[in-house]
Amino acid sequence: MHSNAIPPEISGPSGGIPEATVARLPVYLRALYGLAERGISTVASEELAAAAGVNSAKLRKDLSHLGSYGIRGVGYDVDYLVYQVSRTLGLTQDWPVVIVGAGNLGRALANYGGFVSRGFTISAMLDSDPAIVGSRIARLTVRHVDELEAVVARHKVAIGVIAAPASSAQAVCDRLVAAGVTSILNFAPVVLNVPEGVDVRKVDLSIELQILAFHAQRRSAARPEADPAHGHHRGAVNGTPSRPPVTSEFAAQA
Amino acid sequence: MHSNAIPPEISGPSGGIPEATVARLPVYLRALYGLAERGISTVASEELAAAAGVNSAKLRKDLSHLGSYGIRGVGYDVDYLVYQVSRTLGLTQDWPVVIVGAGNLGRALANYGGFVSRGFTISAMLDSDPAIVGSRIARLTVRHVDELEAVVARHKVAIGVIAAPASSAQAVCDRLVAAGVTSILNFAPVVLNVPEGVDVRKVDLSIELQILAFHAQRRSAARPEADPAHGHHRGAVNGTPSRPPVTSEFAAQA
DNA sequence: CGCTGTGAATTCATTCACAGCA
DNA sequence: TGCTGTGAATGAATTCACAGCG
C-alpha cells in the first residue's frame, strides 16, 4: 500500500498514519463539529478543507489514510466522519489527565473547560506551593505534588501536563515517567529528557514569538534600508559582538 | 509548514532559510544561553545538539544556513553564536506586542515576564469585559479593546497575541490586521482567516492533547486485548455510528 | 456529472559520510 | 587530529491531475 512497512510500526489496520496527517486530524474534527452544529450533514472535501484551512487534495489524502469513508460525487457524511476521526484519534475513550503546576498557566488550562472537552478529564491539579495547595480551581482542589504517584495510579493517568516553572520541569517529568505516564505535554521552556517510549510534545510561547519575529523582520527587510552590520566570517565583525549580557532569562515561572 | 503562506521569499543573503530550520533556531538559542550561564564559551555541534535535543548533523546544517560561524576542529564560540542566531531571528531589535484578552490565559502570558524575555515588550493588554478593564496585570493596566487601533499605531505594534474566546477571535484578528499587524499568535481554537502577507501561528492545547491521545492509543493497542469495535468500511459498523451528540464544545472561554 | 481516492511528480527535510580547514 | 560544512542519498510531505465510482 502506501510508503514502506518496516518502521517500528506494525503497519496494522488503521496503522501507519503519517505524523503530519495525525497533526491535522484534530483540526478537521473541529471543523466537522462546526459544520454539524450548523446542521450540515454532508460536506465535500473542498468545503471541509476551506473550513480547516488546508487545500482539498491534502484533506482527501489525509482522510484516505483512515479508510474510504467518502461518497463519490457527494462528499462525506459529517456525523460519520466525526465518529471515524474521533475513533482514529482515540477519543472514543476517556483520557485522564493530570496537570502539574497550578500557577497562572495551570489555572488557565484548567479553566478551559470546553476546550479540553470531549475525551479528556482532569484527574487532578498538583502544585508544590503550600499557599496554593488546597485552593479550588475549576471544581478541583489543588493537591500537593507529592501525591503525584498516588493520583496517577488511582486514576490510571496516561497523560501529564507540565505547567510548572522551567526549573522544576525536568524533575516533574521524571516523576511522571516513573509513575507510568507515557504522554507528556510540556509548557515549560526546557528540552525534556525522557526514556524511549515516552511521547513529549511542547507548547512554547517564546519559540512561536521568535518565529514570528523572524518573518516580520524578513518582511520589513523588503525596504532597502537594510541592516548595517553584515560581516560574514569571524573577525570581520566590528569588534566584539558582545551583544548578549547573557543573564538568566528564559526561565519562566508560570 | 504552518497553515499560512510563507512569504514568497527572495533567496537573499541571509535569506532562504528553510522553515524547519527557523523553527529550531529558538531552541538552539535557549540551549546556548544555558551553556553561557554555565560559563562555557565554546561548544561542539555534538554537545549543542544534545542540549537542544536534535542530532548533530541537523544542527550543523541548520547553522550553515546562517553563515560559516564555526571553527573546524574546535566548535562554535557560544557568545558569538548567540549573537548570530539572535540577529537572524530579528531579536536584536525590540518587538512591541499587544495581547488581546486578559482572562486566565492572557494573564498567564503577561506574567511570563522572563519567558517572553529579550526581544519582546508587551505594549498593552486589552479586554472587552468592563470588569477586567482597568485592572493591573504585570505592571500594565488592562485597557479596553476599543483602544486597539490607537495602541497599535502608537507603539508600532507588529505582533498581536490573541488570548480571547474562540467566539471573538476572528473579529479581534480582523481588527489587528486592519490596524496593520502582520504577525499573529493565536491561542483561540479556531482557524483564522487572514489576507495574504499576514503570518499566523497557533498554539492549541486541545490539538496537542489529541495528538498525544492518538499515540497513547497506538501504544496501548500493542497489547492483544485490542479494542472491541473495529468495523471497517461503512455499513459494517454496528448500527449507526451515532457516536457524537454533536453539541457545541470546542469553544473556549480563555 | 461531480465527487473521491490515489498513483506520479514535485518539493521539502533529514541523514549520511567525508573532504578539507584550523 | 578533530571538528565543521556540505554534496549526495534517502525519506517524508505536498501537490498535481485524473481514473473511476456513486
Question: Which pLDDT does position B223 carry in this prediction?
Answer: 59
CA–CA separation, B65 and B43 (whole Å) = 18
- Residues in chain B with CB shorter than 8 Å from the CB of A214 are 17, 22, 25, 88-90
Q: What is the mean pLDDT of each run of 10 residues along chain B (254 residues)?
A: 35 70 98 98 98 98 98 98 98 97 94 73 97 96 98 98 96 98 97 97 96 96 48 34 34 32
Q: Kindly give, in sequence order, each residue whose CB lies less than 8 Å from that of residue A27, ignoring residues fewer than 6 positions away.
A: A52, A53, A54, B191, B207
Tell me whether strands A42-43 and A75-77 are parallel, antiparallel or unpaired. antiparallel
Instruction: Extract the residue ranges of chain A whose pLDDT is less than 70.
Output: 1-15, 113-116, 223-254
CB neighbours of residue B172 within 10 Å: 24
User: What's the pLDDT at B222?
Assistant: 74
Q: How far apart are CA B99 and CA B214, in angstroms?
A: 32
Distance, CA of B254 to C1' of C1, in Å: 47
Strand C nucleotides within a 7 Å radius of protein CB atoms: 1-7, 12-17, 20-22
d(CA A61, CA A64): 5
DSSP per-residue string spanning A85-108: HHHHHTTTS-EEEEEE--SHHHHH
Report the DSSP pairing between strands A120-127 and A75-77.
unpaired
Among partner residues B83, B87, B207, which is closest to A26 by beta-carbon distance?
Answer: B207
Give the long-range contacts of residues A63-68, CB within 8 A, separation 24 or more: A63/A28, A65/A2, A65/A16, A65/A17, A65/A18, A65/A21, A66/A14, A66/A17, A67/A14, A67/B232, A67/B233, A68/B233
Nucleotide nearest to B63 (CA to C1'): D5
With CA atoms as reference, report the closest residue to B96 among B122, B127, B125, B126.
B122
- Nearest residue on chain A to B209, alpha-carbon basis: A185
CB count in 10 Å sphere of residue A78? 24
Q: How many Cα atoms are found within 13 Å in the side-chain-facing hemisphere of B94?
A: 8
Are the C-beta atoms of residues B20 and B1 closer than 8 Å to each other? yes
Shortest distance between the Cα of A146 and any Cα of chain B, in A, equals 24
The answer to whether the beta carbons of residues B185 and A209 sit under 8 Å apart is yes
Q: How far is B8 from chain A (nearest CA, A)?
A: 10
Find the CB nearest B116 among A92, A206, A233. A206
Residues B97, B116: contact at Cβ < 8 Å?
Answer: yes
Element (H, E) at A147: none
* Contact between B70 and B63 (Cβ < 8 Å): yes
pLDDT of residue A223: 58
Residue with cell 483520557: A95
Q: What is the pLDDT of residue A239?
A: 33
CB burial of A9-19 (b: ≥16 within 10 Å; e: otherwise) equals eeeeebebbee
Q: Choose among A213, A254, A203: nearest CA to B204.
A: A203
Nucleotide with smallest C1' distance to residue B65 CA = D5
With a 7 Å cutoff on the CB, does A156 touch strand D?
A: no
Residue B185: list chain A partners with CB under 8 A: 205, 208-209, 212
Amino acid B111: pLDDT? 87
With a CB cutoff of 8 Å and minimum separation 6, the contacts of B112 are A105, A205, A206, A252, A254
pLDDT digits (tens, 9 = 90+) for A153-167: 999 999 999 999 999
Beta carbon pairs, A and B, within 8 Å: 308
Instruction: Return the number of other C-beta atoms located less than 10 Å from residue A154's C-beta.
Output: 12
Indicate the pTM of the whole model.
Answer: 0.87
CA atoms within 13 A on the CB side of B225: 1
- Minimum-distance CB partner of A250 among B109, B111, B117: B117
Measured distance CA(B182)–CA(B178) in Å, rounded: 9
> Among residues A133, A142, A145, which one has the least CA distance to residue A173?
A145
